[in-house]
Amino acid sequence: MPIMSAVPLGDIGVYIVLFLALYFEVFLFISFFENKPTGKTSLKPKHYPSVTIVVPCFNEERTLAGTIKSLLALEYPRNKLSILVVNDGSHDNTLAVANRFRKNSQIEIVSKENGGKYTALNFGIENSKADIIGCLDADSLVAPDALIESIKRFEIDSSIMAVVPVMKVENPHNLLELMQAVEYTFGIFYKKMFDNLSAISVLPGPFSLYRREVFEQIGPFRHAHNTEDMEMAWRMQANHLPIANAHTAIVYTKVPSTVTTLLKQRTRWSQGFLDNSKDYRRMYFNPKFGNFGLLILPFGLTMFIGSLYVWGFTIWNTLYWAVRQAWIMWSSHIPLHMPHSFIHFDWFYLDTSSLFSIAAICFCSTLAAILIGRRIAGANFGIGSLIAYFTLYGLLAPLWLTKAVWGSLRSQQSVWREDGIH
Amino acid sequence: MSPKTKYDWKKYALALAITVAMFGTAFYLSSRFNDARITDIRNAENQLSIDLLSNETQYELLGEQGCEDITKNPGLSDVLNSLASRLSYAEEHLGATDSEVITLKKQYSLLEIKDYLLMQKIASKCGTKTRPVFVLYFYSNAGDCKDCAREGATLTYLRETYPMLRVYSFDYQLDLSAVKTLVSMREIGSDMPVLIINNRAPVSGFKNVDDILKLAPEIGKLSTTTKSTSK
């Protein structure tokens, strides 16, 4: 008995994608067992550097107050922490909301012409003399100990030039938000493992912190296809400036609550990945850039293309089967009915193909990664969220990936958000 | 440069080895399940062979006087149908050219012929209240019969709707002398699919549900399992 009958050509592509996906996850699991993240301690930093948190705002009247209050609640010496609110040409009541805090000595509020988030960040960098410069999106909230936990991470290794926190979704309500809550939890695992590999690929807007020297060495933020946070991380990797993850520093962020806003956001991120890949193509498969060049970038791009292939292949096969079945029934004059095999279960017809088994292994490893991520950051979600993730994500992700590919091929500028979601 | 820029080739190799092992395990498990399926079909055919022999022997022993006893057990239609489905699944997933599948198919074809001959004898001698309708269906899955899939689906539906409809399917390309004898005896051409309903002349070309009910109105008079929904 042969191990398997002749594998159709299309299936080979699926096998390859699953093999690479599984290889990547196995690699990350090995990294996890080599260096498991430790729990939070009550230790304080030995030294409190001066910190400026830049809050770029564009039409953030609904959420800005909450963000500022969470920054003011940070457990950090008041004389060492300053908050710089940069109003980037808002035309709602953002400035009025910010001005409610102007009497606070820690807060400075400035307004400028609209130029995009990266210009607001750069304005803050130019106007701060602090040792550590951070950014916080105006729709995000920080845990009171987030800054201390991040500073401790800088202290563990003095070569660390930037620290990224853990991001959780703030109060997810609908199915889409629950799906993203699980996705972000998955991201917690990935970020920690990328930290183990010195290969962090994004410095997200919510509460990434930088030593001032970073900007002195490699320059300020760039437009970077509306993904300045990703480009900054890649530029730091290209210049061998280490980035670390403080898994005990928690930030809560708002996520898109409609399919339209989600697609817009993710298309921008995905297209940013492709466009930045063109700019940094020299890093791909380049051992000079360690695991970032050898593993993270190539696998990121491979999974991008592979996901589209698997999705397209599945859709094609499903449609082909459905249309064929419909044609057979219509031309044979067979009325709609419940097939006999549906009524009487028989183990004989269970799908036990190798493809199904491998897909099941991939599913289990993804689930394991999510559960580890949940444990690392104390995230909390139920079975409903997991179901939302595993059903919705596979349906939605190919849409934004396809849009991103199309946009990148046409060198089309991605659309920035219209509301407070970044 | 941070010392962490270095990468550990051993970890890359270990990850590869573990992934290959996982894939190998999946392929192995799939193969074992397929072996179990072949064994299941083989066991079912062996049991069917015994049951057929038992029926034939019972018929010989009881003669005409035993018609009531024999017709209480109206043959092995369900078992044959179940085997047909399993064989079809095995052909689709293990390949029509797989040697074990071909052997099982030959055995099944012989059992079909034996059941067909026995049921014909019982029906003509005993004359049951509702005589079954016999359909011999010749098909080819060598890629030279574009209508065979539709015809198979049509007959499957009719068989599920009318339990007294007995459909015997034969692969025209099967290298089995008994099937070749049947083909030559009934003068069946190579234009598949071909239907022979209640020993009438062979009818070639695709026939849908309505065509078959017109060709053999006695099928419509058989008792049904369920009412079908409208198209």
d(CA A204, CA A263): 18
pLDDT in tens, A46-55: 999 999 999 9
Please say whether the beta carbons of A410 and A267 come within 8 A: no
B30 token code pair: 């799939």
Checking if the pLDDT of A1 tops 50, the result is no
pLDDT at site A208:
97
Gap between the Cα atoms of A192 and A33, Å rounded: 12
Tell if the CB–CB gap between B11 and A334 is shorter than 8 Å.
Answer: no
The C-alpha atoms of residue A394 and residue A401 are separated, in whole angstroms, by: 11
Helix (H, G, I), strand (E, B) or coil at A132: strand
- Taking alpha carbons only, the member of A175, A183, A185 closest to residue A257 is A175
Compute the distance between CA of residue A188 and CA of residue A183 in angstroms, rounded to an integer.
9
Greatest Cα pair distance, chain A, in angstroms, is 82
Cβ contact, residue pair A332, B149, below 8 Å? no
**pLDDT > 90 in chain A, percent:** 82
Interface of A with B in 149-188 (CB under 8 A): 159
Per residue in A157-209, pLDDT tens?
A: 999 999 999 999 999 999 999 999 999 999 999 999 999 999 999 999 899 99
- The helix/strand/coil state of A133 is strand
Which residues on adjacent β-strands are paired with residue A244? Answer: A163
Domain B130-225 has CATH 3.40.30.10: yes
Distance between CA atoms of residues A388 and A182, nearest Å: 9
How far apart are the C-alpha atoms of A276 and B193, rounded to whole Å?
A: 59
Closest Cα in chain B, distance from residue A202 (Å): 17
Rounded-to-integer distance, Cα A414 and Cα B176, Å: 66
Look at residue A293 and tell me if it is in a domain: yes
Which residues of chain B make contact with A242, given a CB cutoff of 8 A? 2, 4
In B116-145, the residues whose Cβ lies within 8 Å of chain A are none
Neighbours of B93 (CB within 10 A): 19
Given pLDDT bands bounded at 50, 70 and 90, which one contains residue A9? confident
What local confidence, expressed as pLDDT, does residue B67 receive?
A: 66
Average pLDDT in chain A: 91
Cβ atoms within 10 Å of B164's Cβ, excluding its own? 18
HSE toward the beta carbon, residue A406, CA cutoff 13 A: 8
CB–CB contact B31 A329 (8 Å): no
CB B165 within 8 A of CB B119: no
Note the pLDDT tens digit of each residue in A322-359. Answer: 999 999 999 999 998 877 666 677 888 888 889 899 99
Q: What is the pLDDT of residue A299?
A: 94
Domain membership of residue A404 (yes or no) is yes
Q: Which range of residues forms the domain containing residue A238?
A: 1-36+139-422
DSSP A197: T
| Residues of chain B predicted below pLDDT 70 | 1-6, 63-75, 127-130, 226-231
> In this structure, what is the dihedral angle of CA atoms A84, A88, A90, A94, given to the nearest 10 degrees?
-10
User: What average pLDDT does this structure show over A75-80?
Assistant: 96
Chain B residues with CB under 8 Å of A14 CB are none
Percent helix, strand and coil across chain A, each to the nearest 5: 55, 10, 30
- Which is more confident, B78 or A269? A269
pLDDT (0 to 100) of residue B73: 56
pLDDT of residue B190: 85
- Pick among B8, B23, B39, B86 to test the A interface (most A CBs inside 10 A): B23
Classify residue A73: in a domain, yes or no: no
Q: What is the pLDDT of residue B66?
A: 61
A391 lies in some domain: yes
Q: Distance (Å, rounded) from C-alpha B84 to C-alpha B192?
A: 19
The total number of structural domains in chain A stands at 1
pLDDT of residue A347: 85
Residue A91 lies in a domain: no
H, E, C per residue of chain B: CCHHHCCCHHHHHHHHHHHHHHHHHHHHHHHHHHHHHHHHHHHHHHHHHHHHHHHHHHHHHHHHHHHHHHHHCCCCHHHHHHHHHHHHHHHHHHCCCCHHHHHHHHHHHHHHHHHHHHHHHHHHHHCCCCCCEEEEEEECCCCCCCCHHHHHHHHHHHHHHCCCEEEEEEECCCCCHHHHHHHHHCCCCCCCCEEEECCCCCEECCCCHHHHHHHCHHHCCCCCCCCCCCC
Residue A215 lies in a domain: yes
Which B-chain residues 24-63 have CB contacts (< 8 A) with chain A?
Answer: 25-31, 33-35, 37-38, 40
Q: Which of A26, A334, A358 sits opposite B209 (nearest CB)?
A: A334
Per-residue model confidence as pLDDT tens digits over A84-123: 999 999 999 999 999 999 999 999 999 999 999 999 999 9
